[in-house]
Structures are given as C-alpha cells and as structure tokens.
C-alpha cells in the first residue's frame, strides 16, 4: 500500500479523499465537519489543470469559495453551524456568505459527479458532450447569461476524451474505476448538503 501511495494519480487522490470524508461523516453520526470538508473539496482543483487555460477562471472561482469555507472552519465546527448562523442573520443567499459559498461548492461537486456519470455512460462520450450536459444540468440554471456564454465558448477548448485520460495519468480501465469511486463517495455528501438547506425550508432554486 505504501508503495502505491507514491504513484497515486490525481483522480485516485480525489476519490480516496471523498471516501474518507463519507466514512468520517458516518462515524460522526451523520454530521459533516467543516475542516475536513473544505480540505477535501480543495483537492478537486487538481482536476482543473487537465482542462486547459479556458477553465482557469472557473478554478479561481471555485477555489475562492472553498477557501472561504476553510477559513470559516476557524469559527465554525460543522456545516450545520454555518447554516444556523446565516439563517439567524438572514444572509443564507447573500453573495459572499458561507452558506451561499457552500451552495456554490456543492454545485461544483455535483457538476463533476454528473460529468463523470456522462463520461462513463458510453465508451465514446466526448469530454465536450459530458461537460456540456453536466454544466447545463447542474450549474447553468443558476449562472448569469454572460457566464453561460463564456463557459459555452470555453467548452470548445476542452481536451479530447483520450487526452483527458492521458493527462489524468489513467488508462481506459482505471479511469472508469476511479470516476465510479468519486460518484459513489460524493453522492451521500452532496445529498447531505442539499438536505441542510431543504430541512430548513430553503429551496434549491438559486
Ligand atoms: C471537469 C469539469 C469540466 C466542466 C467544466 C465546467 C465549467 C464550469 C465553469 C463555471 C464557471 C463559473 C463562473 C462564475 C460563476 C459565478 O457567477 C458563480 C456565482 O458566484 P457568487 O455570485 O455566489 O459569488 N460562482 C460559482 O458558481 C462557483 C464556481 C463553480 C465552478 C464549479 C466548477 C467545478 C468543476 C470542477 C472541475 C474540475
């Protein structure tokens, strides 16, 4: 195991971190601690470097949101705590609030999940098709027209399916296994975050 660790691919590192986080959530009686959550979400940014320069802006945006949550871990123990505080101060949906940033990060995690599901759905699904479907489904409904246009244009610069697999240091076979692991491990986390809002009667249409 120690020998394999050194050869860990970025995708394996992400999949393992989410599995660990899901296990931790279970061990903590179904609560998610902000610190480990933020650290795990931060790992995802390694995937951006495989997408090319056009997604640099998406990376900066995503990382800013994650860093806000990592900073918040100094004052708040759990994801529940930030929701409680923002509900109290009536700023759940306010730009820059921890709760809003949590919602944005959750959409990022969901985007990757749907992207991987699409990517695995057929052997010849292009990255363009997978990313376009995932973005349209998960993030586009909540992004401005200008952002949607920019993302749409950026999609044409994405690497091919084969290029992505090479850049991720995976093979046809290993990429399936690792993407599947992320899909399975991130699902309970994503559902948990949605439920933080829904259980407080906050809809998810923003
Ligand atoms: C492998 C993935 C390929 C798919 C590519 C999908 C590209 C998504 C591009 C997103 C561009 C985001 C541009 C800025 C959006 C902001 O308006 C919003 C709202 O911010 P607020 O008003 O709350 O301050 N910001 C966001 O939605 C946060 C950024 C999310 C980006 C998630 C991408 C995660 C994908 C990771 C892929 C490795």
| pLDDT over 80 (residue 3) | no
Assess if residue 184 is contained within a domain: yes
| pLDDT over 90 (residue 128) | yes
Number of domains in the chain: 1
CB atoms within 10 A of CB 154: 19
The pair of structure tokens assigned to 23 is 């296990």
| pLDDT over 80 (residue 2) | no
Assess if residue 33 is contained within a domain: yes
Report residues whose beta carbon is within 6 angstroms of any ligand 1 atom.
44, 47-48, 51, 55, 58, 61-62, 65, 95, 100, 104, 107-108, 111-112, 115, 131, 135, 139, 143, 147, 151
For residue 181, what are the domain limits? 2-197
What's the rounded Cα separation, in Å, for the pair 147 and 145? 6
Assess if residue 37 is contained within a domain: yes
CB atoms within 10 A of CB 12: 20
Assess if residue 144 is contained within a domain: yes
Assess if residue 190 is contained within a domain: yes
| pLDDT over 50 (residue 96) | yes
43-92 residue pLDDT tens = 998 898 898 888 888 999 999 999 999 999 999 999 999 999 999 999 99
Q: Which pLDDT score is estimated for 6?
A: 55
Residue tagged 């599947």 (tokens): 180
Assess if residue 104 is contained within a domain: yes
Assess if residue 103 is contained within a domain: yes
Assess if residue 139 is contained within a domain: yes
CATH of the domain at 157: 1.10.3520.10
* Residue nearest atom 5 of ligand 1, based on CA coordinates: 131
Of residues 149 and 3, more confidence is placed in 149
| Burial class of residue 39 (count of CB atoms within 10 Å of its CB; 0-12, 13-18, 19+) | middle
141-194 residue pLDDT tens = 999 999 999 999 999 999 999 999 999 999 999 999 999 999 999 999 999 999
The pair of structure tokens assigned to 91 is 């700023």
């Amino acid at each position: 195991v120690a020998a394999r660790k050194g050869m860990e691919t970025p995708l394996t590192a992400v999949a393992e971190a989410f599995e660990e986080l899901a296990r931790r959530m279970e061990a903590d009686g179904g609560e998610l601690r902000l610190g480990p959550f933020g650290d795990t979400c931060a790992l995802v940014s390694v995937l951006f470097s495989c997408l090319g320069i056009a997604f640099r802006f998406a990376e900066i945006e995503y990382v800013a949101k994650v860093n806000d949550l990592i900073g918040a871990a100094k004052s708040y123990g759990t994801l529940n705590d930030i929701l409680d505080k923002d509900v109290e101060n009536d700023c759940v949906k306010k730009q820059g609030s921890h709760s809003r940033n949590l919602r944005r990060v959750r959409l990022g995690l969901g985007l990757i999940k749907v992207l991987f599901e699409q990517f695995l759905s057929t052997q010849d699904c292009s990255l363009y098709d997978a990313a376009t479907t995932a973005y349209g489904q998960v993030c586009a409904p909540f992004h401005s027209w200008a952002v949607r246009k920019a993302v749409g244009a950026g999609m044409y610069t994405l690497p091919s399916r084969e290029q992505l697999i090479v850049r991720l240091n995976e093979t046809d076979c290993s990429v399936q296994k690792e993407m599947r692991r992320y899909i399975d491990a991130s699902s309970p986390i994503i559902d948990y975050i949605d439920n933080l809002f829904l259980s407080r009667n906050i809809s998810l249409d923003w």
